[in-house]
Amino acid sequence: MKLSFQKSSLLNGINIVLKAVPAKTTMSILECILIDATGDDIKLTANDMELGIETTVEGSILERGRIAIEAKLFSEIIRRLPDSEVIVEVDDNLRVSITCEKADFKIAGKSAEEFSYLPTIEKEKYISVSQFTLKEIIRQTLFSIAPGDVNKLMTGELFEVHENELKVTSLDGHRISIRKVSLRDSYADQKVVVPGKTLSEISKILSGDSDKDVLIFFGRNHILFEFDQTLVVSRLIEGEYFRVDQMLSNDYETKMTINKKDFLDSIERSVLLVRENDKKPIILNLQDQILEMTLTSMMGTMKEEILVNKQGKDIMIAFNPKFLIDALRVIDDENVDIYMVNSKAPCFIRDEEGSYIYLILPVNFNRS
């Protein structure tokens, strides 16, 4: 095999598939990137058996073939080469030669026969959404998945398709994030749980261009995202997702409309007094049209007032400030509506159309 690339094209392709190379594995072949030039295109593939990425790279095929190369070493070599033409050549003994101007590397390759190709997904059930929309949905929901494997379903996001609406839900036991978007066409109903890791890596690859689409195909055990000459295949998380609709309510005793930036800035100032891993609540005391916010820690105290528009009863309620910050940062509206019942019930941050809903559980606090 002998291939020619511009360094920038090759490095971009490597960076895309590198996201599917596991940090630790007992199978050395999974630490490799597959270069496949047996067809008319040059394709790079990485696959950790849960997440697989394939992308087409611009280059010239001088001699056809395929080879698996240790991903980290290959990436570092290409990254440090001059911005010029790169030649990748493989001999009969699977020795890989990488040359660029006066630099010449020779490293060991692995047989492509050992490599696990991406699973084939039937392209029957699918939706189409713009890259911008998908990237925004992920940004506005991914922060509230649960870390680790306390509950596998909480480490993923529920994708629900009903006619011309896509609804994405995430939760971690303390909060729920929901985003709804209208699709250009109507599609068959779908309900799958996509790993958060997959969505995080896809978000990094997406250009965010509103004029470019992502095709999302739904298989029995896998989901496929297709965009920009790139395929991302992921296993789905099995199991029945939580019945989130039962946790949502339109009932409220207090509605507060507040300038989002003022509210967010104030909370971010308050957490200057909170050390990492030190859980101190921010107490919201809403009386008449004034919201008083207080936070007390070993480092000091903070108190601030903001004018708001209040409907209903006065209320005193406390939250983990991080949860409020996470939600407010991804809302693009100038003002936000916050609905509350009492100091023990969750609050809802949502717009009138229901395009976003953020549920946050309150925390206990000492009234003083």
Domain ranges of the chain: 2-114, 126-246, 248-360
Q: Quick check: pTM over 0.85? A: yes
Q: Do 87 and 3 contact (CB within 8 A), yes or no?
A: yes
Does the domain at residues 2-114 carry the CATH identifier 1.10.8.50?
no
- The predicted pLDDT at position 360 comes to 97
Rounded Cα distance, 94 and 82, in Å: 25
Token duo for residue 171:
């939760």
- The predicted pLDDT at position 149 comes to 66
Domains 126-246 and 248-360 share a fold: yes
Q: Do 356 and 179 contact (CB within 8 A), yes or no?
A: yes
Our CA angle for 364, 309, 266, nearest 5°, is: 55
Q: Which of 294, 326, 308 lies closest to 258 in space, CA to CA?
A: 308
* Residue 148 pLDDT class (50, 70, 90 cuts): confident
Token duo for residue 98:
């990488």
Average pLDDT value for residue range 60-66? 97
Q: Which CATH superfamily is domain 248-360 in?
A: DNA Polymerase III, subunit A, domain 2 (3.10.150.10)
Rounded Cα distance, 23 and 4, in Å: 29
- The predicted pLDDT at position 23 comes to 87
Average pLDDT value for residue range 282-305? 95
For residue 110, give the DSSP letter. Answer: B
Distances 97 to 103, 139, 308 between C-alpha atoms, Å: 10, 41, 67
- The predicted pLDDT at position 194 comes to 98
Fold classification of 126-246 is DNA Polymerase III; Chain A, domain 2 (3.10.150)
pLDDT of 365 higher than 90: no
What average pLDDT does the chain have?
Answer: 95
pLDDT of 317 higher than 90: yes
- The predicted pLDDT at position 97 comes to 98
What backbone phi and psi angles, to 5 degrees, belong to 277? 70, 5
Rounded Cα distance, 107 and 262, in Å: 57
Residue 269: how many CB atoms within 10 A of its CB? 13
pLDDT of 243 higher than 80: yes
Residue type, 233: V
Helix 131-139 to helix 196-205 angle (10° resolution) is 130
Average pLDDT value for residue range 11-15? 98
Average pLDDT value for residue range 104-129? 94
- The predicted pLDDT at position 348 comes to 97
* Residue 244 pLDDT class (50, 70, 90 cuts): very high
How far does CA 232 lie from the centroid of its chain?
A: 13
- The predicted pLDDT at position 277 comes to 79
Q: Do 215 and 126 contact (CB within 8 A), yes or no?
A: yes
